[in-house]
Structure formats: structure tokens, C-alpha cells
Amino acid sequence: MDNKIKMEIVTINNSNIDDIQNHFDFLPKEYIKSIKDRTDINEYLNKIYNLAERYEIWDKKDLIAFVAVYINKGITVPAYITNVSIVKDKQGLGLAKRLLKYLIEDLTTKKYKKIELEVKEDNKPALSLYRSFGFIKQEDKSNQGYFKMVLNL
């Protein structure tokens, strides 16, 4: 993958299931383990492909960053971010921040009122990122090592 990325380009739902699976092959092992500890990974990827809106950044043909959000229940139900992932060798370039900014602007334009997500309580980079956008801790799920964060739009 090329180190020069057109970070201003965000696409929506251009990926297919193979792109998503290939993307997950380049994620940190700890991240994949945290998903596998909670659910079947193949079912999860299929659910993302079939039900989520996917905000994506590509490096040529490689899906290097994406946010998956469930918004299929209408604006009266909070949008739910199920995945924020950046391939390992592209982390630290501001890609997650770019995707979240685009997603929040898009959902605000579509009149959504709230975005929710769950985050692992020891994931300090993710916590810092979400707090920088105004997400606040809402609910403790400490029995699983996760808690809910909410952003009111």
C-alpha cells in the first residue's frame, strides 16, 4: 500500500464483502480477538456488509479505513457505530478522525439526533478520539470490559 493517501476522499458503501474481509486481515490481532470474543467474525462481517452504512477510505484498491454504522431504523432511533477500523500500517494518520467527521456531518444533515457506540474501556486512543468529538460515557458495561458512549447531534 502506498503511503500517500488522498485523505479527503471518503466513499460510502463501495466495498464488497471480500474488500471487508481483506481489510480485517490487516487489522491488529488484538482488535480481531476482541471481536471474536464477543461474536462470530464471519457473521459480524456479513452483518456489516448487509445492514450497515460503510464510510470508507481507500488506497488504490485497498480498503484501509472504514466506519460501519447502523442507521436503518430511521432518524428517531440513534445511529449505532459498530466498527471503526484502520489497517495497522495506516494508523496514526488521522483516518479515523476524518471518517468520524464525515459521518457526523452526514448524519447531522440527515437529521439524526444521536450516535451511540461501545468502546473497550482500556482502548485509550479510541476513547480520546471519541471524546474529542464530544461523545460522553453513558453506561458502564464493565462486566464485558466495554461501555457505551453517546453523541447528541
> What is the pLDDT tens value at each position of the chain, 153 positions in all?
444 555 457 899 999 999 999 999 999 998 999 899 889 999 999 999 999 999 999 998 999 999 999 997 777 889 999 999 999 999 999 999 999 999 999 999 999 999 999 998 889 999 999 999 999 998 666 557 888 999 999
Q: Is residue 4 part of a domain?
A: no
* Spatial contact of 67 and 99, defined as CB atoms under 8 Å apart: yes
Q: Is residue 33 part of a domain?
A: yes
Q: Is residue 1 part of a domain?
A: no
Phi, psi (5° rounding) for residue 4?
-95, 115
Residue ranges making up the domain that contains 108: 11-152
Q: What predicted TM-score, i.e. pTM, was given to this entire model?
A: 0.89
Q: Is residue 3 part of a domain?
A: no
Q: Is residue 111 part of a domain?
A: yes
Q: Is residue 46 part of a domain?
A: yes
Burial 82-97 (b: 16+ CB within 10 A, else e): bbbbbbeebbebebbe
Number of domains in the chain: 1
CATH value at residue 135: 3.40.630.30
Question: For residues 148 and 153, what is the distance between their CA atoms, to the nearest angstrom?
Answer: 16
Q: Is residue 2 part of a domain?
A: no
Q: Is residue 6 part of a domain?
A: no
